[in-house]
Every structure is written in C-alpha cells, then in structure tokens.
Amino acid sequence: MLDAGKIAALAAARGRLLDYTLGHASSAALTFVPDAPPPVDIVAVPTTLGTSSETNSVGILKNEHGHRLIVGRALTPRHAVLDPCALATLAPLAVGEGVMEAFLRLAGASTSPRRSIRQHTDAVALGRALLESATRDTSSAAGRLRLARLSAATQRTAALRGPDPYSARHWYAANEVASHLEVRKMVATATVIAAVWRRICAGDVRWGDRDSLELFWRSVACGMAAPLDPPSGIATLIERWGIPRAPRPTASEIDRIAEAMERAWGDRHPMLPGLVADDFGDLLRDSDWSPRPVGGDRRPSMNLRGGETNEHEG
C-alpha cells in the first residue's frame, strides 16, 4: 500500500506527472520520474518489514503487463514513522521474508566490482546486524522495531550508494517469476537467488562480480553455521528460515517467463545487459523450485545458527 500511495501522490504534481508515469509504465518495465521534490509531504507508516519503501525513492506498480518499477525523487516520503504496533500482527513467516529481503538488498549491492570501501563496510555492518537481530528476537515489539530500523537504514547509509544502480540483479529475475506465477516477491526470490549466485561464483560477470560477493558473504557469515560458499550458504538460510519457494513451472511457462525477462530487463537494457531468453531459461531450470505447494504448513525457523526454533520463541 505504501507504493500505491507514493505513486498516487504524483497526481498532486504539476504537468500531469501521474499520467506520464502510468503511460510510460504501460510500455516499459522501468520508469524514471522527472526529477522533482515530492509534490506533497508523504508520511509513510510501514506495516511490513524489509521493503524499505518508507525511506526509498522507488514504487512498484502492478498493471496489465506485470510489476513495473517506478523510480524518482518525487516518490521519497518526507517522514517515516516506524511504529512497532503496526508490526505486531505480522506472522513469523512475514518477518523472516522481510529480514531476507533487506539482507539480499545489501548482498545484491555487494555483487558490484565498483564498490567503495565505505559501501562494503556499511553493507557488512548492516548485514551482520540484521542476521544477529533475527537470531535474538523476532517476536517482541522491540525486536521487530530494531529490524524495521535496520531495513530502513539500508537506504540511509553508503551501502546502496554505488555507481552501479542495477547491481541487485537477482531482483529483476525474481520480479518476473513473481509476476507470472503470481507468488510473493520473496517466494520468487528464494527460488532464483542461489541460481543467480551460482552464476556469479562461476565467473559470469553479467550477473555480478565473484570476488565482491564472496568477500561480502565471508564477512557476514561468521557465526551463522552456514557454508562459506555463497550459493550454498544462502540456500541454507532460506531452508533454515522456512521461506517457501515457488512451484516448478512447466517447460512452456519457463520459456514464457524467460522471454519476458529478456523483453523487460535483458539484452540491451542496462539492468541485465547481454542476457537473453536462453540465459534466463537456463537460470530458471537451475532454480530451486518447491517440492511442496506454496503456502503449506512449513513455518519459518529464525535460528540462524542451526537447529529448530519454535515460532513462539524469541
């Protein structure tokens, strides 16, 4: 709802800015809103964890073509109110998915070879803090407020402020999986992330830089009882936290999603340059699809150091 409100606020801007945004998004996956301050003061009160919509300049618009990305200073809220009461009713699974979303935002930015030392330092500090906080307490008001603050802080530090705005390349693949299979964004992300990282670690620079990802992962993986190999490590956390994955699509559905990825984000687009439908098809066939229906009885375990955690434990 935050994204919808941020985009709707463009109706108060001069020059039919909302009409331009909606029109452009009908033919392009990415729309840059002409640079301008927000037309009204937006006060964002998030009721979920992990998106950082309350502190960023991004909105996701769902239209007949799928989930479209809207970016611009005009979408940035003036105030963010992090109220633990608004997070109290979140299910444990929603908390786990939110922490994973915030963590992978940092990890995605850390796959760029053009990071500064400050970017790396901030990303590692926030990544460690997110995982440690999730280990200690995800059920109390104070614990959830800390996680919300850390998620918001990913947008307020140097961690994401690098010269490569498209470095979190897993997001674009997950976006199309979520849109076409009608699953939640983090369900789609949990499905494709290890396959993306396997390509990075195999040296495919179109997806990201191996040395940068491995350095970030080694720096945050201490004490998590997870493999130091990034693809294996992230798959372990996803399994340990009980984050579900999307059901395996048919071969024809994979082809359809792969073609949509190329059309929206790949080939000559700056988000996934040089990657075409055949590459995306290979990625999807290598992804970690669920052996069980999405939304089954599996509950998240937030014990990052291994073992089982009851959902009522702090």
Ramachandran angles phi, psi of 169, nearest 5°: -75, -20
Closest CA to 115 of 214, 45, 203, 198: 214
Is the pLDDT confidence value at 215 over 50?
A: yes
Closest CA to 120 of 112, 110, 130: 110
Q: Residue 285 — pLDDT band, cuts 50, 70, 90?
A: very high
**pLDDT at residue 255, rounded to an integer:** 98
**Start and end residues for every CATH 1.20.1090.10 domain found in the chain:** 90-285
Q: Please tell me whether residue 31 adopts helix, strand or coil conformation.
A: strand
Neighbours of 219 (CB within 10 A): 16
CA quadruple 49, 284, 205, 124: dihedral, nearest 10? 20
Its CATH class, for the domain covering 90-285, is mainly alpha
**pLDDT at residue 312, rounded to an integer:** 32
Encode pLDDT of 15-51 as tens digits. Answer: 999 999 999 999 999 999 999 999 999 999 999 999 9
**pLDDT at residue 224, rounded to an integer:** 82
Neighbours of 115 (CB within 10 A): 25
Task: Report pTM.
Answer: 0.91
Encode pLDDT of 218-260 as tens digits. Answer: 999 887 888 999 999 999 999 999 999 999 999 999 999 999 9
Encode pLDDT of 259-274 as tens digits. Answer: 999 999 999 999 999 9
Is the pLDDT confidence value at 314 over 90?
A: no
Instruction: Collect all residues with Cβ–Cβ distance below 8 Å to 69 and sequence separation of at least 6.
Output: 29, 30, 31, 58, 60, 61, 175
